[in-house]
Structure 1
Amino acid sequence: MATRSLFHSLRCRFTNGVVIGNNFEPSRFSKLYSADAAIGGSLVEESLKSEEKDDLRSRIFRLRLPKRSVTTVLEKWIGEGNQITVNELRDISRELRKTRRFKHALEVTEWMVQYEETNISDADYASRIDLISKVFGIDAAERYFEGLHLASKTPETYTSLLHAYAGSKQTERAEALFNRIIEIDDLSFGAITYNEMMTLYMSVGQVEKVPEVIEMLKRKKVSPDIYTYNLWLSSCAATFNIDELRKILEEMRNDASFNEGWARYTDLTSIYVKSSRLANAESTSPVEAEKSISQREWVTYDFLMILHTGLGNKDMIDQIWKSLRDTNQKLSSRSYICVLSSYLMLGQVWDVAKVIDQWKESKTNEFDISACSRIVNAFRDVGLKEKAKDFHLLLALKKCGLPNEES
């Protein structure tokens, strides 16, 4: 179309092969025609590529707007005489989730349930619960779960609903569901279910409840995984329970389910804790010394921060805090509480004041005065009354609205 317009414009300037006017430039015409031809060729090539990739996945992923219907695409695909397999739909739904196209992913799972119900797995129902919570909200996800057949109320679907509650920090609903879960004797729940509750407690600042979940996990004889230990260690670090940290490391070292690399890591960390050599061994810190362990297996940063605090290594605390702030991930109130506690333990009042300002200025976190109150109370409870008093005074100077200190 563009080429035709170009020729029409130029034709007006020719009569019997003679150029009319003095402004016609053959070189310019050549460039314009070449550019137009290149665009046309590119469109043809793109069209051919689209035709080559005219499979179900490509058709669905070409639906850019959420309001466009995946169901219509699936029905048309079947109407053309094509086949659809459950595994293919699972893969497409998984890819859609990764790109945060939750509404389209949900439509794919709805098709699966409607036409392939006999082939639906527990994981498929669990995925639907998670997607419904993201698209329509927690209440809709809860109604869907309660409406499932008893046979479909499995550890996977229970845990998926629990994950939805935890993700939206609905503690009471999560606790009610968790209490139902632990009363069920004919289903076997794994560590992931307990991890969800611990993650929730850590995220809302109820660190003191984590040991209760661990106690229940052990009572049910559920084997902890690496995330269980990470959360457990973090809760101890947040409450300054160094003795419990040592016990956990000992338990981890004796856990047969962990590989040799993790065992070496815990051995090294325990040696540092016992010998207090970490402050003089910056180049051989646990993380650096055991590079064979993947990042997902490392203990959380707050544990490492408290560990270095116990050994008086301020430089490492500075480095860890800088690394955390330099990342793109959202810092939780737990991270601020941890670094504040570390600097307080070491008497670094200037650093404490700086962190308070950073927290108050943070765009992703509102300053949590109740969390600061817990720090004051925790220091007072372990006999560090002077440090608690200093922190309380500093908060007052920063006009943080902390209640008057009791005598």
Structure 2
Amino acid sequence: MLLHLFPPSSAAPACPSPRRPCGGAAASTVRCASSSAASSHGKQVANVHNYGTVDFERRRALRWSSLYRRVAVGNGGRPVGRTLADWDEGERRLDKWELCRIARELRKFRRFHLALQVYDWMTERRDRFSLSASDMAIQLDLIAKVRGVQDAEEYFENLPDSMKDKRTYGSLLNVYAQAKMKEKTENTFKLMRKKGYAIDTLPFNVLMNFYVDVDEPEKVTTVTDEMKKRNVAFDVCTYNIWIKSCAAMKDADGIEQIFNQMIADESVVANWTTYTTLASMHIKLENFEKAEECLKEAEKRTTGRDKKCFHFLITLYSHLQKKEEVYRIWNWYKATFKTIHNLGYQEVLSALVRLGDIEGAELLYEEWASKSSSFDPKTMNILLAWYSREGFVVKAEQTLNRFLEKGGNPKPNTWEILASAYLKDNQLSEALSCMEKAAAVTSASRWRPRPANVESLLAYFKEKNDTESVDRLKTVLESRGCAEKEEYKSLINTYAFAGT
């Protein structure tokens, strides 16, 4: 989740979030986007700690981008390691800078499983590639995202003591914070403090953001007080999170006070993130005029290098029901960047659906479908979900069928979206079939069927005394690890009937 209360939407609800580090700290993601302010402000840009994670030798890109494209598209479904090995042996010997650059690009577009394979390939060749604590912090973060917290913990425990420094501890702290594991987050921070690693802004930002995420915004002030006591400098991300905590408590005066303190801090320059954060806070507090003023200030600080700013502007203007502004920013976006990736289309599609401009959303989807070479189901799911909610079953079927014809691979939640449409249309056997297709998708997805959908199916099958369908639904639940989950067990018990 990014810092904003109304994060750019994708197919699934956010957190936005994702939740990214302010200024590029490699492994830690404080979920606060930032951008460089224009030099005309005459103030020093906030010092953002990257802990050396992008401190690679600057050199001409050569052909790393060609290899990146080959890795990113999957190269015919081949494992990343084989693609790298073939390039290394047949094209040109790879160096660490190129591989780290490829991994960084993959992470930027949330292709975490591919980025992890790049690091795994380097790790297998430790005699050739010297991996630093910064690299291991990145790898730990990727392991958590791809394989889960437990694997990340095991990775950390197996690190040499010399590599357990502020970077790897900071990465572990962020893993726990993102997983909302309160005890482990707080204990890790205490351990970092004890070891003398809590001396930079980043771990404090992670802890502050964690308290906002777990609905304890009142604790943020204790963190900022400790930073002042320890003379830890605030950066733009610190102020943004602090502002967010005040908004969570609906403290409008607090927001203004912190913003004024930020403006008075000569070491920090308010950037577009600050103003989009303020805008989202004002929207939450229904101060719509102030929100629009903040968005205009954010636009003044927008550069042509950062797509995220356009995403937030589109999303926030849609929350203000400013359709003409959404289209204006979208046209500016397309004029600025030669290529618009899937995420850009997802943001504006979500905005148009939020505005009720379905005709515009359908035209935009057709534009995406005609241009895209990577049929991300998240893009289609946005329109599919609207059709499902509004009861347009035939349109939902047609949209998914066209997606399949173009070679797209639906995710489990794609099938459940269509199942929801069938449930509303009382096509229960078709809905069950979609659930089975969702369960059959072989991916790293942690998808589990929505309990409400399971309940609707069970109630219908009980009414029809359809034990065969109940068994099929139970198989779906078992295949996705739901059988022992209390909420599903209680549903099965509630709707149990003779013969099941």
Q: 2:124 is paired with a residue of what secondary structure?
A: helix
CA contact (8 A) 2:176 2:182 kept: yes
Instruction: Calculate the TM-score normalised by the size of structure 2.
Output: 0.42
Deviation at 1:158, TM superposition (A): 1.8
Q: 2:206 maps to what in 1?
A: 196
Distance 1:191 1:89 in 2: 28
CA contact (8 A) 2:123 2:131 kept: yes
Q: 1:183 is paired with a residue of what secondary structure?
A: helix
Distance 2:209 2:65 in 1: 43
Q: 2:293 maps to what in 1?
A: 285
1:137 maps onto 2:129 in alignment: no
Q: 2:143 is paired with a residue of what secondary structure?
A: helix
Q: 1:102 to 1:319 in 2, by over 3 A?
A: closer
Larger radius of gyration: 1
Deviation at 1:157, TM superposition (A): 1.8
| Count of residue pairs the alignment pairs up | 256
Structure 1, residues 313-334: CA drift from partner, whole Å, max 9, x if none? xxx9x838999999849xxxxx
If asked which structure has higher relative contact order (CA below 8 Å, sep 6+), I would say 2
CA contact (8 A) 2:192 2:198 kept: no
Distance 2:321 2:202 in 1: 28
Q: 1:173 aligns with which of 184, 188, 207?
A: 184
Deviation at 1:56, TM superposition (A): 4.2
Mapping of residues 215-234 of structure 1, within 5 Å? 215-234=225-244
CA contact (8 A) 2:64 2:98 kept: no
Structure 1, residues 123-165: CA drift from partner, whole Å, max 9, x if none? 3212101111122110111111122223322322222222222
Q: 1:280 to 1:193 in 2, by over 3 A?
A: closer
Structure 1, residues 356-400: CA drift from partner, whole Å, max 9, x if none? xxxxxxx9xx9xxxxxxxxxxxxxxxxxxxxxxxxxxxxxxxxxx
1:239 maps onto 2:240 in alignment: no
Distance 1:115 1:175 in 2: 35
Deviation at 1:73, TM superposition (A): 3.0
The aligned amino acid for 1:285 is: E
Q: 1:122 maps to what in 2?
A: 133
Q: 1:147 maps to what in 2?
A: 158
Distance 2:289 2:109 in 1: 43
Distance 2:88 2:99 in 1: 13
- Identity over the aligned pairs, expressed in percent? 30
1:206 maps onto 2:233 in alignment: no
User: Unaligned 5+ residue runs, structure 2?
Assistant: 1-62, 280-285, 327-346, 352-419, 421-449, 451-500
Q: 1:74 to 1:222 in 2, by over 3 A?
A: same
Q: Greater shift after overlay, 249-258 or 55-64?
A: 55-64
Q: 2:359 maps to what in 1?
A: none
Q: 1:176 to 1:282 in 2, by over 3 A?
A: closer
Distance 1:70 1:326 in 2: 32
Mapping of residues 8-407 of structure 1, within 5 Å? 56-63=67-74, 68-80=78-90, 82-116=92-126, 119-185=130-196, 187=197, 189-259=199-269, 285-288=293-296, 291-294=299-302, 319=320, 328=350
Q: 1:211 to 1:69 in 2, by over 3 A?
A: same
CA contact (8 A) 1:261 1:292 kept: no
Structure 1, residues 257-285: CA drift from partner, whole Å, max 9, x if none? 123889x98xxx9xxxxxxxx98976983
User: Unaligned 5+ residue runs, structure 1?
Assistant: 1-51, 270-277, 306-315, 330-362, 367-407
Instruction: Calculate the TM-score normalised by the size of structure 1.
Output: 0.51
Deviation at 1:240, TM superposition (A): 4.0
Distance 2:64 2:191 in 1: 48
Q: 2:211 is paired with a residue of what secondary structure?
A: helix
Distance 1:125 1:111 in 2: 13
Distance 2:180 2:189 in 1: 14
